[in-house]
Amino acid sequence: MAGPSDQDKLAEEWGLDDIGTPDDGQTDEQRAAAAAAEWAAMIEEAGEGESGPDRVLNQDEIDSLLGFDASIGSNVELTGVQALINSALVSYERLPMLEIVFDRLVRLTTTSLRNFTSDNVEVTLDSISSVRFGDYLNSIPLPAILSVIKAEEWENYGLLTVDSSLIYSMIDVLLGGRRVGGNIRVEGRPYTTIELALARRMIEVILEDTHRAFEPVTQVNFKLERMETNPRFAAISRPGNAAILIELRIEMDDRGGKIEILLPYATIEPIREQLLQMFMGEKFGRDPIWEGHLATEIYSADVEIEAVLHEQELPLSRMLGIKPGDTVMFERTPTDPVRLRCGDVELTEAIMGHIGNHVSVRVTRPLNPPKVTMAAFEAIDEKMEGR
């Protein structure tokens, strides 16, 4: 262990002999305040140079890192933690046919609204994006009309939102209002009965065009269930469920607004295979070539038909006691019809006769209508999948 003399030598080598209680006439509190001021000056210098190791982030940089920038629009790509959270959403680009459908909707809606308003109407497709249902409800600018629509063939629901500027612009055009530019002032009052009726008529026109836009892919009818002005009453899905958001902009000279169509992924799931097809080089719907080939093969197929004279139930003991020469009596006459069947399917009835040395039958009535439906084939598919 080093003695006192050795400690003095070490202190002299390290320059620690000057450290001690300074004799500058200051108290301990004054010296602590001076040290704190010196540290604050060092931090400021590091922040100004933006190269110090202990640089402190400001509020804008923290918001950008977390992705909580409220000033950006809904169409801007998310950043930071929000981008990681929303990365689980399915991208609409995996459904190429969906964009083709809504491009067709834009053309149809442009023509229909021009006929509806007798004015120059331009409809454009702003964006197609994936959102969470709860985030979309929270982002709707009020006042607005939220229409709950039902896809009858898909047995599910969607939303069609019309903003207030488009509603008032459409009312002015339909009722002969002044063609003034700029944003229309909204007093914050609820919509009147006339305004709701005109908005309903416009929504029905758009839904009819949506039905026509989906016709090349599938047959689906969109029905207007109800109209709401409060987003809480338009909850058709869980807040965390993914949905497709289509934004359409409608311009009439210098007036107009936006229409947003929201379809949850659960709604379009029945036609997912059709939407996955590419527009070029693929066919969808019926294939007439395959149908003609199948009909030709079925027409030329051979089938075995049985003529059943009579069926009756006998005790097993009597059947076991039958010997050659015994007679089994059928309660039939030569003029009674016999049944013709193929396998287990009964086809029709006929009269038995003979031609030369052969027994023959003559059909007396048309074939029975088929009882096999698509449900039977679906049941067979389920059994095969269960195996």
User: Do 262 and 129 have their domain in common?
Assistant: yes
User: Do 251 and 324 have their domain in common?
Assistant: no
Gap between the Cα atoms of 185 and 233, Å rounded: 26
Number of structural domains in the chain: 2
Instruction: Write down which residue in 237, 256, 275 finishes a domain.
Output: 275
57 occurs within a structural domain: no
Q: What is the pLDDT of residue 128?
A: 83
User: Do 202 and 310 have their domain in common?
Assistant: no
Q: Is this model's pTM higher than 0.75 or not?
A: no
Q: What is the pLDDT of residue 74?
A: 47
User: Do 159 and 228 have their domain in common?
Assistant: yes
Q: What is the pLDDT of residue 19?
A: 46
Instruction: Write down which residue in 229, 255, 275 finishes a domain.
Output: 275
User: Do 178 and 320 have their domain in common?
Assistant: no
186 occurs within a structural domain: yes
pLDDT in tens for each of the 387 residues of the chain?
555 556 566 555 555 455 445 555 666 667 777 777 776 676 666 555 544 455 677 777 777 766 665 554 444 455 656 666 655 454 555 677 888 888 888 888 888 888 888 888 888 888 888 888 888 888 888 788 888 888 888 888 888 988 888 888 888 888 876 655 555 555 567 778 888 888 888 888 888 988 888 888 888 888 888 888 888 888 888 888 888 888 888 888 777 888 888 888 888 888 887 777 765 444 555 667 888 888 888 888 888 888 888 787 888 888 888 888 888 777 777 788 888 888 888 888 888 888 888 888 888 888 877 766 666 666 666 666 665
User: Do 121 and 255 have their domain in common?
Assistant: yes
Q: What is the pLDDT of residue 73?
A: 47
What is the CATH number for 216? 3.40.1550.10
Q: What is the pLDDT of residue 27?
A: 67
Please list, in sequence order, all residues whose beta carbon lies within 8 angstroms of the beta carbon of residue 129, skipping any fewer than 6 positions away.
74, 75, 92, 244, 245, 247
User: Do 252 and 314 have their domain in common?
Assistant: no
CA 40 to mean position of chain CA atoms: 55
Cβ distance 105 to 216 under 8 Å?
Answer: no
Half-sphere exposure of 27 (CA within 13 A, CB side): 2
SS3 (DSSP) at 271: helix
pLDDT digits (tens, 9 = 90+) for 201-223: 888 888 898 888 888 888 888 88
382 occurs within a structural domain: yes
Gap between the Cα atoms of 230 and 193, Å rounded: 16
253 occurs within a structural domain: yes
84 occurs within a structural domain: no
Gap between the Cα atoms of 290 and 270, Å rounded: 24
Q: DSSP label at 183?
A: P
User: Do 152 and 239 have their domain in common?
Assistant: yes
Residue 224's domain comprises 92-275
Q: What is the pLDDT of residue 331?
A: 76
**Lookup: tokens for 268:** 């379009």
35 occurs within a structural domain: no
User: Do 253 and 308 have their domain in common?
Assistant: no
pLDDT digits (tens, 9 = 90+) for 75-91: 445 565 666 665 545 45
Instruction: Write down which residue in 254, 275, 296 finishes a domain.
Output: 275
The total number of residues written for the chain in this structure? 387
What is the CATH number for 320? 2.30.330.10
Q: What is the pLDDT of residue 281?
A: 42
User: Do 261 and 315 have their domain in common?
Assistant: no
8 occurs within a structural domain: no
Q: In the block, which residue shows the tokens 């005790």?
A: 315
